[in-house]
Amino acid sequence: MTRFSCEERTTGGIPFLLDERAHRMGMETWLSIEYDKSPHVLWSGRTGSGKTVAAKLLLARSILLAPPELQPVELTVIDPKSDTDFDYLDGLTRFYRGDEAPQGFNNFFDAFIRRRDKQDLSANLKICYADEFASLINLIDDKKEKEAAQRKLALLLMLSRSRRFSVQLATQQPSAKLFGESGSASREQFGAVCLLGESGAETQAMLFDGDSRERIKAFGVIGGRGVGWLSVNGGIAQPVRVPMVGAMEKLNRVIYDNLAR
């Protein structure tokens, strides 16, 4: 069962996934993300793989456990597909769904520009989570506007770390085409890359280097929903498990309260 204890707040690291090898030996070992080192997260996996739950878990734990220098964490949630996973956020500030999704992304980018240009002197952590970035791009009909959105993403991924902006995307197919002209260069800017569920060789090749793919092949079938592979800062991928959430309504409440304030 996932805990949301503030006693876990120690350094800039946010524990968010479990080491699958330790789990199989009956131990609980958390893996962490450090926002000052690797703020951007790419979640991938087929429908039903557990990536949305995993992403929401990281968002909630970041809100609760981020160190004082990153507080208050400010979350923007973008839901281009209008899935039921985020119905409880309807009407809240910094929640954008359906046709509003591109504007939500532009608003987040504009906030980054204000901080970059020192119009905004705050230093808290701002996170933008897009549940399916490919759907966001597909909502933009105009080719030039679509390319502009992809360029904005590239700038955020390359330049926003020191300004404490985090981009967290979920997508089924993380192809180079998704990121526009910057292609694989943008994809490589994600400090944490997680692939959940069973996947084909093509998807693995999009996300992981040769050493990681060899490890995945040697490990064999990893399991079903909520189990997969994580690479941090370009390191060799390791098997991970999404912690079980005992009370989803409490996790959702943490995210709700953040957007409501």
Q: What superfamily would CATH give domain 6-260?
A: P-loop containing nucleotide triphosphate hydrolases (3.40.50.300)
Task: State what percent of residues in the chain have pLDDT above 90.
Answer: 70
Is residue 129 within 8 Å of residue 168, measured between CB atoms?
A: yes
Q: Domain-by-domain residue ranges, the chain?
A: 6-260
Res. 180 pLDDT band, cuts 50 70 90: low
Task: Give 261's DSSP letter.
Answer: -
- Residue 225 identity: R
| Torsion (CA) 151, 153, 159, 161 in degrees, nearest 10 | 180
Judged against a pLDDT cut of 90, whether residue 71 lies above it is answered with yes
Residues 6+ apart with CB under 8 A from 36: 12, 161, 164
Output 7 or 186, whichever has higher pLDDT. 186
Determine the pLDDT at residue 181.
64
Determine the pLDDT at residue 7.
35
Determine the pLDDT at residue 185.
63
Is residue 83 within 8 Å of residue 56, measured between CB atoms?
A: no
Output 183 or 157, whichever has higher pLDDT. 157
* Distance separating alpha carbons of residues 255 and 93, to the nearest angstrom: 12
Answer yes or no: pTM beyond 0.85. yes
Task: Give 104's DSSP letter.
Answer: H
Residues 6+ apart with CB under 8 A from 171: 42, 43, 44, 132, 133, 134, 178
Determine the pLDDT at residue 221.
81
Judged against a pLDDT cut of 70, whether residue 162 lies above it is answered with yes
Is residue 186 within 8 Å of residue 205, measured between CB atoms?
A: no
